[in-house]
Chain A
Amino acid sequence: MAVEKTFQEINERIKRGRAVVVTAEELVTMVKEKGVTRVTSEVDVVTTGTFSPMCSSGAFLSLGHTKPRMKMHKVWLNDVPAYTGIAAVDAFIGATEVPEDDPLNSVYPGEFRYGGGHVIHDLVSHKTVHLKATGYGTDCYPRKEIETEITIDDINEAILFNPRNAYQNYNCAVNLSTRTIYTYMGMLKANLGNAHYSTSGQLSPLLKDPTFKTIGVGTRIFLGGGIGYVVWNGTQHFPGVNLDDSGNNFGHAGGTLSVMGDLKQMNPRWLAGTSMLGYGATLTVGIGIPIPLLNEEVCRFAAAGDDELYAPIVDYGDAYPNFNPSNLGYVSYGELKSGKIKVNGKEVPTAPMSSYPRAKEIARTLKQWIQKGDFLLGEPVQLLPNADAGINANTLKG
């Protein structure tokens, strides 16, 4: 009879230090050698990892009350504005926010040397951060301004809350135009001068559970070097299947995650302030998700290797910015990782935006945590919608 395991059974084995845990990279080879059936019965958990720039990240900070009390109306952290329209001393620092006097792209391409992602990195590094706040004064909150230094240890709460992380799959970005362009996919040279891609392929969390059979609300994860949770689907969660013009299936894409965790127990190695030339500031986030091998189907998906996973090639010179369809085909992660691909008959050098060695380190770390019995699987209270849900993206009119 085919193997069926439950989260509870696997957690029991983890507690007893008996769980068999492998990284997604290891699983790919194991399944090639032994086959799905044997591996499903032998292995309990597969660990994944990704370390990439991830916009839609940020942190809720509960700063603590001042004496006399103050209702903060505007807040700046190292000159980067934080949103404080939440409560008197609560603020949200978003990864892509930049100082008000940043030259942006007026000196093109802008450097974006410091932004919200860097503030989060400084906080998690326990560095001192300059806090400035102003208020309008109320009877119960009379104080109108404060300037002080804080560290993450001084404030009451610091909660990383990233509304959209861990894109399931992503474009392979090229530039068909005749000038160099600066994008969130890096610097793309004119006339198909290079190609950038940005997932960790066979280690990438949502490519390994593409139909959301195990990941959902409550999944416990490696987040920023500490422990975090999947709290919802991410924004722009449009799970679907990539098809080419002839209807050939190039795998799942479009899923995203909303994740959350206590920033105070995270580590600056896994939350790095990032400056995308000509684009903006952001945060590079380390995420690792354990996938329990509940049955053969889960195992088969998790065992997909770089040669079986594909990214769509998209032109960022014209098609992407103008929201037009791009028809340059698909390329496997195996080809992307080889260093060159063929696009429109031309050989194009490739480079990733996402660190494969760091993704591997995350998968290995998570594997060790589980093996030691320190990290139990969180059974989702609700799975995330998958391609069957038929969610479509709306676009803004106007």
Chain B
Amino acid sequence: MSSKKVVLRFAADITDQPIIYKLVKDYDLIINILKADINPQKEGTLVMELTGDNTEQGIEYLRQLGVGVQSLTEEIIQNEEKCVSCGACTDICPTGALYMERPDMVVRFNSDRCVVCRLCVKACPMKAMEVRF
């Protein structure tokens, strides 16, 4: 069971659809609405937490409806298949989340220290640092 915080943005023409009902009934998700700004005449925003086994499918359903879905808590991951431990990111990362283990010179990633500044995402020559939503 996974849970995910997302920001939903939808156009006026779909604000009248029973989206939450569908997420609960068809995708068996527990919905916790954190913030809502819905007005039938204009674009609406919803911030909520989705919990359940089908969070991805639920999000996919929303996207198909034309709802913009953005993760609230973006996180950075190190794709270990792509990372070659070149080291180029280790003096770019401002927090020491990416660091070199000496004397082996292997590059490690401590996500607890990451502040999602994305500098490494741009600077990594192997495109090994990825943003996960």
- C-beta contact mask, B100-115 vs A, less than 8 Å → 1, else 0? 1011111000000000
Q: Name the contact of B125 in the complex, choosing from A186, A339, A349, A356 (C-beta under 8 A).
A: A186
Decide if A276 is an interface residue (CB 8 Å cutoff): yes
User: Contacts A187-B88, A355-B86 given; 11 further ones with Cβ under 8 A?
Assistant: A113-B127, A186-B92, A187-B92, A189-B91, A196-B91, A276-B125, A337-B103, A339-B100, A351-B87, A351-B91, A353-B125
Point out the residue from A111, A186, A356 that lies within 8 Å of B88, measured CB to CB. A186
A357 touches B126 (CB 8 A): no
Kindly identify which residue among A186, A284, A337 contacts B102, using a CB–CB cutoff of 8 Å: A337
Chain B residues packing against A (C-beta within 8 Å): 84-92, 100, 102-106, 122-123, 125-127
Q: Is the CB of B106 within 8 A of A349?
A: no
A275/B86 in contact, CB under 8 A: no
Size of A's binding interface in residues, CB under 8 A:
31
Whole-angstrom distance between the Cβ of B107 and the nearest chain A Cβ: 9
Main secondary structure of the interface of B (DSSP, over half): loop
* In contact, A272 and B105 (Cβ under 8 angstroms): no
Known contacts A187-B123, A275-B125, A275-B127, A352 near B92 by CB under 8 Å: no
Measured in the bound complex, the distance between the Cα atoms of B84 and A274 in whole Å is: 11
15 contacts between A and B (CB under 8 A): A52-B86, A111-B122, A187-B92, A194-B92, A272-B84, A275-B127, A350-B91, A351-B87, A351-B88, A351-B89, A352-B105, A353-B87, A354-B86, A355-B85, A357-B104
Number of residue pairs across A and B with beta carbons under 8 Å? 75
Q: Give A165 to B103 CA distance when docked, in angstroms.
A: 26
Per-residue interface assignment for chain A, residues 250 to 292, with 1 indicating a CB less than 8 Å from any chain B CB and 0 otherwise:
0000000000000000000000101111000000100000000
Known: A187-B123, A356-B105. A51 touches B84 (CB 8 A): yes
The docked-state distance in angstroms from the alpha carbon of A351 to that of B100 is 9
**Are the CB atoms of A355 and B84 closer together than 8 Å?**
yes
CB distance from A185 to the nearest CB of B (A): 9
